[in-house]
Structures are given as C-alpha cells and as structure tokens.
Structure 1
Amino acid sequence: MKNSPSELPEETPFLKGPTSPAVDQDSVFGDNYLHSPKRSPCERCIPWLIHLLVLTVYTTIFILFWDHSQSRSCPRADGHEFPHTYSPASEALKWEVITFQNQLETSNPYKGPPRPELEEAWHNLLHPSAAIRVSKEALDRINRTSVELLDGSGYMVALDVYHQLHCLRWVRRYLHRDYYNMTEKNLGQHIDHCLDGLRQYVMCNADLALNTFDWIPNYPRPWPNFEVVHKCANWESIEEWALTHSFNGYDPDLISHPDYHPELPSPFNFTVSGNSP
C-alpha cells in the first residue's frame, strides 16, 4: 500500500518542487504529471527532452555495437587487427601463442615418408571438412548462395581452412606419387590449382612473425631459427565446431544434383571451368 503525502518521511522530497506534492513514480508520464496546472509549458517539456536524450543515447549505443559486429576484427601475429569476412565459425575462435617446431629434423605424425600413421593423421585432420551445414541467414551475411540440403535443414558450405589442408595433402601425395599410384590425369590442373590457392592464402595473410638467425659451425651463412612464435587459432576449438555442424556430403537424401551430366568433361578442364591457362 502506498504512503499518502502526509505519511511520507521528511527526507522523501525527491522529484518534488518547492510547493508541489511528491510525485508518484508510476504517474511520471501519466495525466497527473502532464496536466498539472502548476507547471509552465516549458517545465512540461523537460521530461520529454530528457526522454528524447535517453532514447538518442540508447540508439547511438545500438548503432555502434551493430557497426562493430559487422566489421569485427581478427587479431594478427603482428599485433594488428583487420576486418574479416563473416563466418558463423568465428564463434569458435580462441587465440593462443604457439612456438612452431619446424626444424629440418623435427618429426610429427604429418611429416615424413608415407606410412600408416601419417595417413591416419591426415585423414583425421580432414575428417570434418567435407560438408558443413549453415543457415540462410549466414549466407545472407556474405551475400552468397549455396546448395540447399534436401531436408530443408540448411545449406552446404565448407570452411576454407579445410580446403587449404586438402591442397597440402595433394601436394604431399604428389611428392610421393609413385607410392599413391597417381597419374598425370589425377594431377595436372589439380596440383596447379592447389599450389596457386596456397600462394594466394600466404600472401593474403602475410604472416609478419620474425624469423631470427644463428651461427652454426657447419654452415657458412646465418642459419634460420625455425622456432618462430605465432599467435594461432586453437585448432581443437575449430575442429569441434566443424564436427558439430558437419554432415555426410555424400548422403543422397541430403545432396542430389538436379541436372547432372556425367558425359561432360571434368571441371578441371580449363574450357569447362571458364578459367584461362
């Protein structure tokens, strides 16, 4: 129950004029306040001016946050930032500092001659790469269309990082093409496509981390120190996101070409793809 004016303690004259009674907060913008005969027209404008000011502030804040979300920046190894194209996978980005171990003698599951351990490592690395499901809204953000899944659950995309890894595996297999029984028909334009795609990616990202040099006794020139510090995306986080949003890109219930002509040449034929040699 609300106190009557006579019951209010003396320290409650908040919003109270020199001669006016205390104003009930519930009626600040109601008839009792707006039509008070004791207030001049100028005084009656003050609440509306305050309201307009608050609305302007909130609108400005919203626009600033919206603009920031449209041009989010991606940290770089050199400490600078630059706008990047939208990707729903950005929500999985976690940054960490990693020292590359890339000495000539370094070994890891992805490096060295063909062997079962290497094949398994590369297979697992590329496993979620085939097909990722995204929404129509995600495609609208980049002003693109893509193949719609037949069950209406979304659209097919792939994270470009997996295409780059796919290309690296193709180049690696080319180095051991006899082992993989790869013919020139398998290679040719595909390898050239991959190498030039990787060139564009390296130039686009322009890693400015510093390579330092040392003297070693058995080499006459400064020897590069391949232990280079980089700011890297946490791969496990990206892989988890990709696995969560992946689907079987060979499932005919999800993907089916509406007008496939197998008699036509492969898309790696320059005349078909529209590229120039």
Structure 2
Amino acid sequence: MASKPHGVLQLETPEEKYLDRVADSEDHDSSSSLLPSIEKSGRRLQQNHQRRRLVFILIGQVTFFVFSLSMLVYSLYLRKQVPQNCLRKISSPSPVLEAFTDDDYKWVHWNTTLNTFGEFTGKYSEEKAQAWLNITATPLITVSEANMVSAGAGLDSVRVPESAGGGYLAQLDGFHALHCLRVLWYDHHSEEIPETKKSKLENSRHYEAHYEHCVDLIRQSLTCHFDTSFATFNWLVDIGEPFPYFSNPKKCVNMDKILDWTYEHKFHKPEGFVWEAPDDAHLVRVVDRVAQWDEPRVDNIFCHKMSSLNPHLRTENLLLRPAVPSDAAVLAAIFANPSNTQHEPHKPRNPTEEEYQRRITKWDDLRALGKAYFLVISRRATTETGSASPSADSVIGFGGINAISTDAQGKRVADLGVLIDSSEWRKGYGRESLQATLDFAFRKVEAEGAGCEEAFFETLAVNTPFQALADHMGLVKWKQVKSEGKEVEYRFSKEDWEGIKNRTA
C-alpha cells in the first residue's frame, strides 16, 4: 500500500479501500485465482454462440424449404393457368376450360392424303357410323348460374329442378358442329342409311333446311376458331408446279379429355323424371328466335340482335354484366350506404333486397326491348395479365345505360351512369367502367353495341371527385352547368369520343 504524507490526517475513501484490496490480491498471484472463472465464461460464450448458430441455420433451412415449396406450388399453378389463359383469349367462357393443363395438348400430323380412309371416312359401315356417334351422341350437362353469367347466357334458359340435381341444362357447342359434320357424311351415304334416305324423300323441306343450317354452322365454327397454322408446298414427280402439303405438325386439344369431362358432368336424369315447364318459365316461339336476328322494331323502339341483349363488357380488371337475382342483396347494401349515394341526384327510396329483386326483373325487360342496359360491376376472375383477382366476381358497383332515347333529329342518345362502392375508390375502377360503357354505347349494333350516336351523364355540382375523373379523361370541353348551378352534365357525340380516345392513345 502506498504511504500517506506525514503530519496529515487523511481518511481512506471507499474507492481507496477497494483499490488497496485489489493491489493486495495482485501481490498473491492474481492470474491463478481468476483463470478458472474466465475459462468457464469462455465456454459458456462459445456454447451460446454455437446454439445461436444452429438456430440461424435451422431458420434458414426452414425458410429455404418453405420458399422452394411455394415456388413448386406456384409453378404447378402456372402450368395449369397458362393454357387456361390462352384458351380464354380464343374461347367463350366455359367450365371445361378449368380442367385443361399442358398435358391435355399434343402435337399431331393430320392425315390429309387423298384416297386413304380412316375411322370416320370411306365406304359406309356400321363401325364408321358408330365412330361418328361416339363423338356426337354425347350427354347433356348441367352448369351453374355463375357459369351462365360468365358465358353471357340468358338466365331464362331451362333450369333443372332441384329434385333432379339443379343447375342449368347445357351442351358443349363443339358437339353441335361435329353433329353437323356427321349430317354431311350421312347425306353423302344416304343410300346406305335408311333413316336418312326416308327423311330426304318424305320431309325434303325440313331436310334441306337442316342441311343448309349445318353447312353454315360449320362455316361459322371454322371462321370463329380459325386455324392459324400454315400449309407448305412440295415439288412432286411429274408435276411442274408447287403442290400443297397439309400435314405439318399441329397442336391439338385432347378430344378424349373433353369427352371424359362431358361424361363426368352429365345430367343424370332420375328414374321417372318428366320435363315440365314451370309456371314462370320464359316461353319462346321458334319464329321469335329467328325474328330477333332480323332486328325488328317493337313499339317504334329499335330492338337489337340477340348477341347484344346480354352484354358482358370486360376491362383489364372488371366485368360489367346484367344483374341476376343473386345480386339483389349486394345491390341493396351498396345503395343503402350513404357514402355511395351522397352525390347521387336521385337517391333510391327503398334500398332493400326485395326492391332490387323487382328492379332486376324490370331491367331484364328493358334490356330485351333495347331501352336500357343496367349492369352490375364486378371484378374479373382473372385479369388481362393472367393474375388472379381477389374476391373474384364480387359486385363492387353499378352502372351502364339508364335509358336510350331518340332526339328531334332522330339520333339515339344514351344516358349513362357509374357508381363504385366506397370501399373500392381510388383504384381506377370508375374510369374503367365509364370507358367500357361509352365504348358499348357507341359501338354499332352489328358489332354487339347499343348503336347510339350521342351520350351524356350528369352528377351534382358538389361531386368534385367524379368531375375530376371526367375532366382527366378529356371530357372537360363538354362540361355544362345546369339546374341553377346544382348539377353538371357532360354531353358529347360518338365522333367526340373517338377523338378523345385518339388523343389519349
């Protein structure tokens, strides 16, 4: 211990006492007394480090496994989705598309050689007749209401009673085209087929009508699903000009897969079941169906082709379609929400499910007459990019054409409207819906449109968000203030709309 100065009384502080004890311990081989505790601490630190390292390795392995498994599942999903997405671009919506994968397509070489006959061609025989029946005498199927809506089919079609399984009665239309091809083959061999020969002689008028119907149906089927592969040309012995070769590889759908799917979803007719139209059935005369294609006028109102009576307007993210009874509850909830109707000039007085059931029936009648096209707005099941949409086909709004009138100059004028639920604002859905509705309103009837020459929509002056949307779309030039400043109207012609689209393209 260090000595204190003489003649001075100095008390040791606690710190000095502690330092004195440390100094004393240093005089007695302090390294030997501290070493065991240091070694134990080192071992504990090393063990803790190893444990943490093992935990990190385990977490990394689990993360990598989960990531790998997710990628595997996603790749399998894409493998199924890619052919489905391609098919959707060239096919009408159908539940059978969900069953296709890459494995259901195969490369084949068609047999196009003259004077060679196969399973379906050549001299008539019972075996060949049966082969045609195997691919044409297929069962009817049942589809859901959602399938009907997606396909643009009328919900006044024949329904199967719940006691017999429910759903809508349907048939894959490709079998109709094959049936018509069989009719041509039967006609070619009518001398060997007693039923065909008898029909040809005894009911010639109907036979010829059916034959011509089949010829034109095959034409429409071939042009609708046009084969874009190509034939090449060869040089042949003794022929001085290029000769066509039609047997290049073609990628074809597996027909057996379609047949299997059809039989798996066939309508199983219960024993003793008898078809009977319900009291509220929509009865159609055959002549009425034919007349609709001639675009008749009913009560001086221009009626449209059947194809435009049930419009399904698809955008990148949305589907605008006619409402069905199951939409009534959602529509009532949308219009009962004050946030949705705060800027509506004409608010609904009774937004209940029962009220919208009644309105949906009325909308169907107006659409059938070509007077209005009220449409619900829902998300598409799959977007244009192929990605799945959340809450697919959930109704998120309402819009369409409120009324079609004729002005003094004889021009058809469309009164438009769009309403998006407040939970879906600021996602661009209002613009998508309005653009799709305008395109439909101005499209010619022959192109499945409403055939209007002018359109307008209006809103309250305080609805600045909607006005900002319309102005941003380039419609500010046609903006007019009405009703003593309380309302704003946008009115423009088909040519105006085409000019707007060209400028913003």
* Both proteins in one fold, TM over 0.5: yes
2:160 aligned residue: 149
8 Å CA contact 1:73–1:84 kept in 2: the answer is: no
Q: Percent same amino acid at aligned positions? A: 26
1:74 has 2:86 as partner: yes
3-state SS of paired residue (2:207): coil
Q: Equivalences for 1:87-126 in 2 at 5 Å?
A: 87-93=94-100, 94-126=104-136
2:184 aligned residue: 171
Residue 162 of structure 1 deviates from its aligned partner by: 0.3
1:229 aligned residue: 249
Partners of 2:240 and 2:96 lie apart in 1 by 47
**CA-based RMSD:** 3.5
Residue 233 of structure 1 deviates from its aligned partner by: 0.5
State the number of aligned residues. 205
Residue 219 of structure 1 deviates from its aligned partner by: 4.0
Residue 229 of structure 1 deviates from its aligned partner by: 1.5
3-state SS of paired residue (2:137): helix
2:290 aligned residue: 273
Partners of 1:217 and 1:86 lie apart in 2 by 48
Residue 10 of structure 1 deviates from its aligned partner by: 8.3
3-state SS of paired residue (1:82): helix
Residue 85 of structure 1 deviates from its aligned partner by: 2.3
With normalisation by structure 1, the TM-score equals: 0.62
Gaps of at least 5 residues in structure 1 are 1-8, 14-64, 76-80, 260-264
Residue 11 of structure 1 deviates from its aligned partner by: 10
2:259 aligned residue: 239
Higher strand share: 2
8 Å CA contact 1:73–1:83 kept in 2: the answer is: no
1:3-26 deviations in Å (ceiling 9; x for gaps) = xxxxxx68999xxxxxxxxxxxxx
Q: 1:205 to 1:257 in 2, by over 3 A?
A: same
Q: Equivalences for 1:1-277 in 2 at 5 Å?
A: 73-74=85-86, 82-93=89-100, 94-128=104-138, 130-144=139-153, 145=155, 146-150=157-161, 151-178=164-191, 179=193, 180-181=196-197, 182-183=199-200, 184-247=204-267, 253=273, 255-257=275-277, 267=286, 273-274=290-291
3-state SS of paired residue (2:86): strand
Gaps of at least 5 residues in structure 2 are 1-47, 53-76, 280-284, 295-505
1:98-126 deviations in Å (ceiling 9; x for gaps) = 11112112321111122111111011112
* Structure with the greater alpha carbon radius of gyration: 2
The residue type equivalent to 1:136 in the other structure is E
Structure having greater relative contact order (Cα 8 Å, sep ≥ 6): 1
Residue 212 of structure 1 deviates from its aligned partner by: 1.4
1:53-102 deviations in Å (ceiling 9; x for gaps) = xxxxxxxxxxxx9xxx8xx5326xxxxx8353211011233221111112
The residue type equivalent to 2:258 in the other structure is I
1:34 aligned residue: none
8 Å CA contact 2:141–2:169 kept in 1: the answer is: yes
Partners of 2:124 and 2:133 lie apart in 1 by 13
Partners of 2:149 and 2:264 lie apart in 1 by 21
3-state SS of paired residue (2:250): strand
Higher helix share: 2
Partners of 2:177 and 2:270 lie apart in 1 by 21
Partners of 2:137 and 2:165 lie apart in 1 by 24
Residue 257 of structure 1 deviates from its aligned partner by: 4.3
Residue 215 of structure 1 deviates from its aligned partner by: 2.4
With normalisation by structure 2, the TM-score equals: 0.36
1:215-263 deviations in Å (ceiling 9; x for gaps) = 223444322223131111111111100011113679872633459xxxx
Q: 1:156 to 1:104 in 2, by over 3 A?
A: same
Residue 272 of structure 1 deviates from its aligned partner by: 7.1
Partners of 2:111 and 2:226 lie apart in 1 by 19
Q: 1:272 to 1:142 in 2, by over 3 A?
A: closer
The residue type equivalent to 2:110 in the other structure is F
